[in-house]
Chain A
Amino acid sequence: MTRSKVAFILVSFIAILCLLLIPGQYVRTFGQPEVLVLDSGWRISLNGTVLPEDNPQRIVRTDVRVIKKGDVLTMSHTLPTGAGYYYPSLYIRTQGAAIDVLIDGMLYYSHDKEAILNNTQVESGSHFIDLPMSISGSELTINLYSGSSYAFLGVEPPVLSSYRSLMEYELHLNFLPLMVSIFLCVYGVSFLVISLYFVLQTPNLLGQVVSSLICIDVGIWMLSTYDLLSIIMGGHHATRLESITLYLLIPLLYLYLSSMRKPFRKQIYTAIAVISSAVCVMLAVGVAINMLPIHIVNIPFALIALLATILVLRIRFGARAGAKREESESLRIAGLLVLITTFWLYHLSYTFVEYTGLTRDVFTDNLVTFGGMFFVLCQMLNYFVYIAQIYTRKQENETLRKIAYEDALTQLPNKVRIDEVLQALDASDRNFCIVSMDLNGLKQVNDQIGHMWGDHLLMEFAQVLRISFGEVGFLSRVGGDEFIVAIEEAGEGEVRECIANMLEKLELLDRREKNINHSVAYGYAFRNEVPERNSSAAMKVADARMYEMKALQKKQAQREAMMRLTTEA
């Protein structure tokens, strides 16, 4: 894959993303849900200490570096009077924190506080809280209880509106991840079904199966990370599912690599792959049955992921990268690499956000979206490249087939081909006859009047063979002047008839071209004749008979020559 092609893909992909985003934005301007984003006017205190910020999003790590589990962040806001919301709902997103919502000091909503008490994993996610009718001028208080060290960092401002509008607001924000994650899931499932259907018929399909699994995995990861799962499926399992799918990505990645041709040269790489896959599966299981708290697992997992990334980079840019690699394989690696890179960037940007308090923007939010789409794009591109290449490849194979199986001069099948045919005949239980033939005059013609005439003789003889045996036998040229005909299910009479026919034709040629010796030595043998009942034994007998005849012919030729000499003398 040349650089220009990569550039083309990138440019077109970005172009299409824009094409998708711009109409999306345009369409959205018609139907922006009416919401009130509460991004100022907050009074915020941490464990009773008042913080200077009036927007929870601005809380950065430096201020609260000492956040421990169980710390409490209290945010209060006086709701505007006269806001025309009729029974509004409140939308707030939490990250690893339990939440209480109070209106005028009355508790209206509480989530996951028992997780803090029980010291289990605190779920992150979206909360939609139904508020009472009269809220104008009320005091809204939100208490966040930290379940992790990043719980209070960059808290997105709460939003007030009707429930449906809030849900649409959230979906509009995550419009691309939603589309892409659903696409990945459906695409993965479809391809999995198709490849499993074909996997029995065709080898080398492991790559397809694994890549569809990767698609599903990334799709589910995205759904849980952007907290879209609760809207589509209901329930609050996002945090755990996010980690599980992330851990499972590593074994899938190694499986994917192993489906390529010789991905690892050294045993040690294979060992690394197996061990890290096993560890990741164990991590996933541990998190799934709620044995492992996620924040403990994060660092070892990051190391494993780093190792995997380095391996992929080695495969792409390592010593062997310069060697000829098939286009499809380099495409697949490129797709994988982009996917991994976006995953890293996403998590790095997350850490970055924690320290700076800047909100994630459209770009970082859609990074993995981009990676996932690129992965699928590379997969699909493979198929399209195949569609484009298959015709040329077929022609190439046709040429190769000719070179491999055909004698270039006479265009008769060659030794390789007749060997295959004889093998097939041996495997059957039918009788067959092998006729071995040797042109007596070829060497003489070649030496005396030139190779041109030798070639001419060969072509003529091939033509004669085609006429006299073509209907019943399989013809071949196995050496310079050697020919073999295999005749299936033939009686001796039939074979003799064919040979007589051939001799007759050669006689005619002899008379027409006096300077060329058209004589041929032949011998034939049947499968039934030989005790071994196979073609090589029959061939030996046929050859022996042919040599016998050749010897006789030579003697006769010598006698004739002598006769001629004596008569001339």
Chain B
Amino acid sequence: MTGLLSGLATTGSLRYEIVNIDEGWRVTHNDKVLENVTLKEAIEGVAGKGEVYELENHLPFVTVPAAALRIHTTRSCIDVYLDDELIYSFGHDYAERGDSVPNGYHYPILPTGYTGAALRIVLTGQTGSAFSGMEPIYMGNRQDLVQEQIRNVRFPFFVGIFLCLFSIIVLILGAYVFFFHERSGRGGDQFRMLFSAAICLVLGTYILTRADGYFFVTSSLAVSSTLEYVSLYLLGILVAALFMTVVDGKVRTICGIAAMVNAGVFSVTLLLHATNLLHMNKTLWLYHIVIITEVILMTVFLVRQFIENRGKGNVIVIDTVAKDAEKKAGNIIALGMLCLIFLLFLDIIRYIVMKYFSARGTSEKGLLLTTVGALVFVFSLLLNYFYYNIEMIHEDNKNRALETLAYTDALTGCASRTRCEQVLKEMERYKGNYSIISLDLNRLKLVNDTLGHAEGDRLLRGFGAMLKACFRDSDLTGRMGGDEFLVIVKDAPDDLCRYKMYQLQRLMNVRNQEETKFQYSVAYGYADSWETKNKKPMEVYNLADERMYEMKQKQHEKDPHGVRLKKKAGSGEEQDPVSAQATALENASAAYSTGAVPDRAKKEDEE
């Protein structure tokens, strides 16, 4: 991704040649004259307030249509003379007002006949330590110069814009989630979301302004300079605050203190700036010291904490309450933050080193690190969202599988008891009419005990299949347990239940013809919701149940023993140990089973 963006940043064609005027400068400073030096050597040390540098040179013998120069200045006024004629001037009005002169690029346009003309640039420092070093001065076509400069900052420009808009989206969505979704009770997430949005905005503004890429919003260099300082100060506060929400222990305390200190420094600076006592750029060194101290302190404690917690499997200690997904997500954000802080820190160090110890001085734009850091941070945020997305997909798949398991009876394929109870409860709110059929499969216990569980299961499966075949998918056919079944039909026409039961009986008759070991037989009862007073599903169910028992009673009267497994008992299955056992046991246990024991005892008593 970074490679792709930086690839984008180097493409694009220019129409004419651009010349870097780097060598052969004559520099006058405090009556000291340096002859024939490069721009790098032109400015020694840090230029202070009122210090004047005069840079002189001759324009190269290159002709470009509509030619111009490109000069970058830092906190200083600039006057450009060509053959001792003033062609460009900037910053004196700021200096007169006592405001600080903004940084930026200048494009003095060269009049015709410029080739070989004498060029004189006068720079006047306007702040305590205004600038050190010079960015190269270029000559070329004016369009080329501007476009090339824009292309140079394309990477930070893209990232900055992206960050600003991303923050707005996160802000809206944060509000949406806050209002419309009950959250799992932990308030930290909302703050985390808010802070990440704010950081993105501030970071985006900082990157844009610092890369001189704010031109698409305002042409005013002053506005852009002020925004740069404000965003830098705000960044310190917000980063510390966000980091506080993802770490634990002492580091958390340090982050809290750091956020408050930064806020304090910012408000004092802002006050001084607003009252025109001390301008923001003059207190930058103080801010740098504060930041460096904080980062060092934090690093020390973080490393200590990391060593202590290494065994526990956490890279960084996140909220101990957080569970799996949240912990992992928090870890991702924390890593992104660490990366951002580290790269920001490096950039500040680099800035200081460049300003005071290097020949290139403040002209060097060390923005790449911060931009990459910002990108990593946003990536960590996106990854974090994505992680939730993936987790959700997993949970959804699991949910579907579990629902099938939980709501289907594994043996018969009918709905499970849990599902039946759910639907019964749902029927309470059902406005239309509905019917409930209660069924009881006869002789299950007997088959189980005599022929074995395998045969019992076969009986249940066969019955379940026939029952399901009789009804539509939208009707609920469920197994309440053991040998009890239940059917719920919504808006059934009259006589539907009777017809369906007739159908079931016919199906069973066909099956029974082929069946050698046992016979399917069922007792059932049905009831319509209008038959009851309150239309309560449990009442309807009970009514159906009562009718089922009546039927069972009648069946019992017809076949008082209720023990016949098969009219013609099977005899060819001796090779199967279980059924052999079953046949052997059949006579002995028939009487023992199915609640016959008390009767049996009585009978024995009588005997």
> Footprint of B on A, CB under 8 Å?
5, 8-9, 12-13, 16, 19-20, 24, 27-28, 30-33, 86-87, 89, 128, 130, 133, 162-165, 167-168, 171-172, 175, 178-180, 182-183, 185-187, 189-191, 193-195, 198, 201-204, 208, 231-235, 373, 376-377, 380-394, 396-397, 400-401, 403-405, 415-416, 419, 443-444, 447-448, 479-480, 482, 540, 543-544, 547-548, 551, 554-555, 558, 561-562, 565
Confirm or deny: B445 has a beta carbon within 8 angstroms of a beta carbon on chain A: yes
Query: Do residues A443 and B482 form an inter-chain contact, with CB atoms below 8 A?
Result: no
B118 vs chain A, min Cβ distance (A)? 19
8 contacts between A and B (CB under 8 A): A31-B218, A130-B141, A162-B109, A179-B165, A183-B166, A194-B379, A384-B173, A397-B398
Query: Do residues A5 and B180 form an inter-chain contact, with CB atoms below 8 A?
Result: yes
Q: Which of A31, A191, A376, A382 contacts B220 (CB 8 A)?
A: A31
Asked, given contacts A400-B403, A400-B406, whether A479 binds B453 with beta carbons under 8 Å apart, the answer is yes
A218 vs chain B, min Cβ distance (A)? 14
Interface residue ranges of B364-421 to A (CB < 8 Å): 378-379, 382-383, 385-386, 388-396, 398-399, 402-403, 405-407, 410-411, 416, 418
CA distance A21 to B496 in the complex (A): 67
Among B7-15, B282-290, B505-513, which stretch is in contact with chain A? Answer: B7-15
Query: Do residues A178 and B383 form an inter-chain contact, with CB atoms below 8 A?
Result: no
Q: Which of B13, B224, B385, B593 contacts A387 (CB 8 A)?
A: B385
Among B22-30, B300-308, B538-546, B597-605, which stretch is in contact with chain A? Answer: B597-605
Contacts of B215 in A (CB 8 A): 168, 171
Query: Do residues A190 and B161 form an inter-chain contact, with CB atoms below 8 A?
Result: no
Query: Do residues A12 and B175 form an inter-chain contact, with CB atoms below 8 A?
Result: yes
Among B147-155, B344-352, B355-363, which stretch is in contact with chain A? Answer: B147-155
Asked, given contacts A163-B146, A179-B165, A373-B165, whether A390 binds B392 with beta carbons under 8 Å apart, the answer is yes
Chain A residue at minimal CB-CB distance from B11? A233
Q: Which of B172, B395, B592 contacts A393 (CB 8 A)?
A: B395
Contacts of B62 in A (CB 8 A): none
Contacts of B402 in A (CB 8 A): 397, 400-401, 403-404
Query: Do residues A393 and B183 form an inter-chain contact, with CB atoms below 8 A?
Result: no
Chain A residue at minimal CB-CB distance from B482? A480
Chain B residue at minimal CB-CB distance from A25? B217
Asked, given contacts A31-B219, A179-B165, A396-B399, whether A380 binds B385 with beta carbons under 8 Å apart, the answer is yes
CA distance A178 to B395 in the complex (A): 39
Chain B residue at minimal CB-CB distance from A482? B453
Contacts of A482 in B (CB 8 A): 453
Contacts of A401 in B (CB 8 A): 402, 406
Query: Do residues A389 and B181 form an inter-chain contact, with CB atoms below 8 A?
Result: yes
Can you list, as one digit per residue, whether each of B82-126 has a CB less than 8 Å from chain A (1) or not (0)? 000000000000000000000000010101100000000000000
Query: Do residues A447 and B181 form an inter-chain contact, with CB atoms below 8 A?
Result: no
Can you list, as one digit per residue, whether each of B326-348 has a CB less than 8 Å from chain A (1) or not (0)? 00000000000000000000000
Query: Do residues B161 and A390 form an inter-chain contact, with CB atoms below 8 A?
Result: no
Confirm or deny: B469 has a beta carbon within 8 angstroms of a beta carbon on chain A: no
CA distance A488 to B223 in the complex (A): 75
Contacts of B399 in A (CB 8 A): 393, 396-397, 400
Query: Do residues A194 and B392 form an inter-chain contact, with CB atoms below 8 A?
Result: no
Query: Do residues B218 and A27 form an inter-chain contact, with CB atoms below 8 A?
Result: yes
CA distance A185 to B157 in the complex (A): 13
- Report the interface size for chain B: residues with CB under 8 A from the other chain: 104
Among B309-317, B429-437, B577-585, which stretch is in contact with chain A? Answer: B577-585
Asked, given contacts A8-B176, A189-B1, A396-B399, whether A133 binds B162 with beta carbons under 8 Å apart, the answer is no
Contacts of B581 in A (CB 8 A): 544, 547-548, 551
CA distance A74 to B373 in the complex (A): 53
Chain B residue at minimal CB-CB distance from A414? B410
CA distance A401 to B403 in the complex (A): 8
Contacts of B423 in A (CB 8 A): none
Tell me the number of A-to-B contacts counted with CB atoms below 8 Å. Answer: 258
Query: Do residues B189 and A394 form an inter-chain contact, with CB atoms below 8 A?
Result: no
Asked, given contacts A168-B215, A182-B158, A403-B406, whether A198 binds B142 with beta carbons under 8 Å apart, the answer is no
Q: Which of A28, A171, A447 contacts B595 (CB 8 A)?
A: A447
Central interface residue in B157, B169, B177, B224, by most chain A CB within 10 Å: B169
14 new A-B contacts, CB < 8 A, other than A182-B162, A415-B411, are: A8-B176, A31-B219, A32-B219, A186-B159, A194-B379, A194-B386, A232-B12, A381-B176, A384-B176, A386-B385, A386-B388, A400-B399, A400-B405, A543-B452
Query: Do residues B578 and A27 form an inter-chain contact, with CB atoms below 8 A?
Result: no
CA distance A282 to B591 in the complex (A): 82
B30 vs chain A, min Cβ distance (A)? 33
Asked, given contacts A30-B218, A31-B220, A185-B158, whether A167 binds B183 with beta carbons under 8 Å apart, the answer is no
Query: Do residues A443 and B445 form an inter-chain contact, with CB atoms below 8 A?
Result: yes
Confirm or deny: B65 has a beta carbon within 8 angstroms of a beta carbon on chain A: yes
Chain A residue at minimal CB-CB distance from B168? A16
Can you list, as one digit per residue, whether each of B174-202 has a CB less than 8 Å from chain A (1) or not (0)? 11110111111000010000000000000
Asked, given contacts A5-B180, A8-B176, A551-B585, whether A168 binds B219 with beta carbons under 8 Å apart, the answer is yes
Central interface residue in A19, A195, A387, by most chain B CB within 10 Å: A387
Query: Do residues A187 and B166 form an inter-chain contact, with CB atoms below 8 A?
Result: yes
Q: Which of A178, A203, A405 contacts B216 (CB 8 A)?
A: A178
Contacts of B174 in A (CB 8 A): 384
Chain B residue at minimal CB-CB distance from A87? B109
A543 vs chain B, min Cβ distance (A)? 7
B82 vs chain A, min Cβ distance (A)? 12
Query: Do residues B1 and A190 form an inter-chain contact, with CB atoms below 8 A?
Result: yes
Asked, given contacts A168-B216, A235-B12, A405-B405, whether A194 binds B4 with beta carbons under 8 Å apart, the answer is no
Asked, given contacts A27-B218, A404-B402, whether A443 binds B595 with beta carbons under 8 Å apart, the answer is yes
Chain B residue at minimal CB-CB distance from A400? B402
Query: Do residues A190 and B173 form an inter-chain contact, with CB atoms below 8 A?
Result: no
Confirm or deny: B441 has a beta carbon within 8 angstroms of a beta carbon on chain A: no
B416 vs chain A, min Cβ distance (A)? 8
Query: Do residues A554 and B578 form an inter-chain contact, with CB atoms below 8 A?
Result: no
Asked, given contacts A9-B176, A186-B162, A561-B601, whether A30 binds B223 with beta carbons under 8 Å apart, the answer is yes
Q: Which of B177, B224, B379, B598 contacts A384 (CB 8 A)?
A: B177
